[in-house]
Amino acid sequence: MATAQAGGQVRAGRHGVTNRAGVISIGSRVTVFGYFVFGDLDTQSPLKVKITIGDGSIIMFRFQCNAAESVRIGEDVSIASNVFITDSDHVVEPDGTPVTRNTKLVTRPVEIGNGCWIGQNAVILKGVTIGEHCVVGANSVVTRDVPARTVVAGNPAKVIKTL
Ligand SMILES: CC(C)(COP(=O)(O)OP(=O)(O)OC[C@H]1O[C@@H](n2cnc3c(N)ncnc32)[C@H](O)[C@@H]1OP(=O)(O)O)[C@@H](O)C(=O)NCCC(=O)NCCS
């Protein structure tokens, strides 16, 4: 985390890794517990911020966030343990070339609004925008946008309540 941009009072747990610290921007009063992974999926691209974590957000253990272009986590977002967020998928070639030998990605930015609570083991996939003050239930896989003040749960995540 040495060269990531970070505001004041940032606390990062042990055993966290990233392959390109310069793509991460962390606000003030942010806590990220241990065993996190921040991955730049396109390390040949010009250096720019790809992963943003807003002021006051708290991220529990074993968080993984992969970005080729942009993952923006708002302010005061609470993320439980084992959450995975990605803005990309591998392009799976019909000729059978394995993804280990194919660096092509399909990428769409991800945004998580201020004040969201993301439950344990949730997965948030490429292209998803989650509005402000939403709840994502434990074990959910979010594949579509979520309007503000909405509770979603399940795989694929569906609306279960409006707040
Ligand atoms: C999403 C959540 C907040 C909803 O709580 P709630 O408002 O009390 O919801 P309810 O228990 O009334 O459930 C409403 C419906 O959604 C379903 N549901 C709730 N959470 C679900 C989940 N995570 N996955 C799938 N379905 C879920 C319930 O089974 C129920 O379905 P039904 O109407 O068919 O019976 C809660 O279930 C949850 O997942 N919390 C996350 C806990 C967590 O990860 N904590 C980490 C520490 S910060």
Per-residue model confidence as pLDDT tens digits over 7-42: 889 999 999 999 999 999 999 999 999 999 999 999
Which residue from 7, 14, 10 is spatially nearest to 36, judged by alpha carbons? 14
Give the strand order in the sheet containing 37-40: 17-18, 37-40, 64-67, 84-86, 123-124, 141-142
Beta strands in 5-114 (DSSP E): 5-6, 11-12, 17-18, 24-26, 31-32, 37-40, 51-53, 58-59, 64-67, 71-73, 78-79, 84-86, 88-90, 105-107, 110-112
Task: Locate the ligand 1 atom nearest the alpha carbon of residue 60 and give its number.
Answer: 48
Domain CATH for 119: 2.160.10.10
How far away, in angstroms, is 137 Cα from ligand 1 center?
A: 6
Query: Cα 50 to the chain's mean position, in Å?
Result: 10
- The pick from 160, 161, 162 for probing ligand 1's pocket by mutation, whose C-beta has the most ligand atoms within 8 angstroms, reads 160
What local confidence, expressed as pLDDT, does residue 13 receive? 92
CB 65 within 8 A of CB 104: no
Task: Say how many domains are in the chain.
Answer: 1
Q: Which residue in the block uniquely carries the two structure tokens 């390390």?
A: 43
What local confidence, expressed as pLDDT, does residue 3 receive? 62
Query: Cα 47 to the chain's mean position, in Å?
Result: 19
Query: Cα 65 to the chain's mean position, in Å?
Result: 4
How far away, in angstroms, is 3 Cα from ligand 1 center?
A: 38
Give start and end residues of each alpha helix (H) in 48-91.
Answer: none
How far away, in angstroms, is 36 Cα from ligand 1 center?
A: 25
- What stretches in the chain show pLDDT beneath 70? 1-3
| Residues spanned by the domain of 18 | 5-162
Catalytic (active-site) positions: 90
Provide the sign of the torsion angle of the four alpha carbons 19, 41, 7, 63, taken in this order.
negative
